[in-house]
Amino acid sequence: MAAVAVDAVHTKVQMIDQIFFSVARTLDWDRLARTTVNRICHMLGYEIPVGNPRISLAELAELYSYDLHELRRDVNRGLQSEIFKNYKMVQDFRIAMIRLCQFEFKTGQFTDAEAEAVKAWLRGQLSQISLLRNTRIFRRITRTNARAMLFSLVHWLTSNEYTGLLLTLDLQQFFKGRERDATGMRIMYTRAAIIDTYESMRQLIDNTDEFQSMATVVCLPPDFTIDRTRGMDLYQALKLRIYDEVRDEARDNPFGTLVRLGGLKNDVDYDLAGQGMAPWQQQMLRRVLPQR
């Protein structure tokens, strides 16, 4: 599983595209592309040598005494079938993954500069969108399409030997003072920015069915429930989705989309068995909370 932690101190979490960029910067895109290429070659009947997992197209053609141009055509058809026709991912993301796979396999259809531009585009570091003209990608990743890109990314991870994505959002910065640290890089949040963040959290909850194989853990201080200027009372749409309604206070709904991690008497020294939790709850806590 890919685990990514995003801290509101250094990332503008009110912007979903910045969250996507933070996730993208932690991933090895070349490795993901190579996994896909090797899988497609295996499907086509061309086993990748164990001693040379990063074999190029020309080397594979020589290994099997097969025509280079015919092999390139077969591989491109496989990429079209496995990636471009996989409509669980949005079109721009599909195009980008095909280009990275072609570059990783050294098919000669994609240059080093174009590959670096695609990875910079995914990481939010591209200076000019015109650098992607030859790749058929014509727009940047912004707040309007970043959520769909995140959907696509999770599906891409699960297609390449990952079980999913664990995203941790640390939002404790919302309730800290306005003093800056020594580097001056700490981000301060206005009420408008906090509302935008809560809106993104609300959308993540509503999109639970679409975010298959993804878990989001949000870290907030107790002030979140009592602070009327910066807490959950600031955005009623989010509060209505997470606030306790008519239910058993001693038992969570195992079929619900939210799991509430709270009620620990001691943050440093806690006892899972003494909390009266079900076995599935104890197992989830062991995965999420740090081991002491």
For the chain, give the percent of residues with pLDDT over 90: 67
CB 55 within 8 A of CB 49: yes
Number of separate domains in the chain: 2
Question: What is residue 251's predicted lDDT score, i.e. its pLDDT?
Answer: 67
Of the pLDDT bands very low, low, confident and very high (cuts 50, 70, 90), residue 266 is: very low
Give the pLDDT confidence score for residue 18 in this predicted structure. Answer: 96
Least confidently predicted of 17-21, 58-62, 97-101, 205-209: 205-209
Tell me: the pLDDT tens digits for 4-48? 999 999 999 999 999 999 999 999 999 999 999 999 999 999 999
For residue 209, what are the domain limits? Answer: 2-25+164-288
Decide if 268 is inside a domain. Answer: yes
* pLDDT for the residue numbered 14: 94
Asked if residue 39 and residue 6 are part of one domain, the reply reads no
Residues 82 and 195 in one domain: no
CA 240, CA 255: separation in Å to the nearest integer? 18
Structure token pair of residue 261: 């991690």
The percent of residues above 70 in pLDDT, for the chain, comes to 80
Query: What predicted TM-score, i.e. pTM, was given to this entire model?
Result: 0.82
State whether 41 and 109 are in the same domain: yes
Q: Are residue 109 and residue 170 in the same domain, yes or no?
A: no
pLDDT at 39: 94
Q: What is the DSSP letter of 80?
A: I
107-122: per-residue pLDDT in tens?
988 899 999 999 999 9
Domain boundary among 89, 120, 135: 135
What b/e sequence results for 92-124 when a residue is b if at least 16 CB atoms lie within 10 Å of its CB, and e otherwise? bbbbbbbbbbbbbbbbeebeeebbebbbbbbbb
Where does a domain end: 81, 114, 135? 135
Q: CA angle, 171 as apex, 177 and 157 as ends, to 5°?
A: 155
H/E stretch holding 5: strand 2-7
Residue 267 φ then ψ, to 5°? -70, -25
Per-residue confidence (pLDDT) for residue 260, from 0 to 100: 65
Dihedrals φ, ψ of 288, to 5°? -90, -45
What's the mean pLDDT in 127-152? 93
Burial 200-211 (b: 16+ CB within 10 A, else e): bbbebbeeeeeb
| Alpha carbon distances (Å) from 4 to 27, 33, 63, 123, 251 | 9, 20, 39, 14, 29
Residue 238 has pLDDT above 80, yes or no: yes
> Which sign, positive or negative, has the C-alpha torsion 270, 272, 274, 278?
positive
pLDDT score, position 290: 47
What local confidence, expressed as pLDDT, does residue 154 receive? 95
The pLDDT-based confidence of 160 (bands split at 50, 70, 90) is very high
Residues 6+ apart with CB under 8 A from 43: 78, 82
Q: What is the torsion angle, in degrees rounded to the nearest 10, for the CA atoms of residue 99, residue 100, residue 103 and residue 109? A: 0
20 and 75 in a single domain? The answer is: no
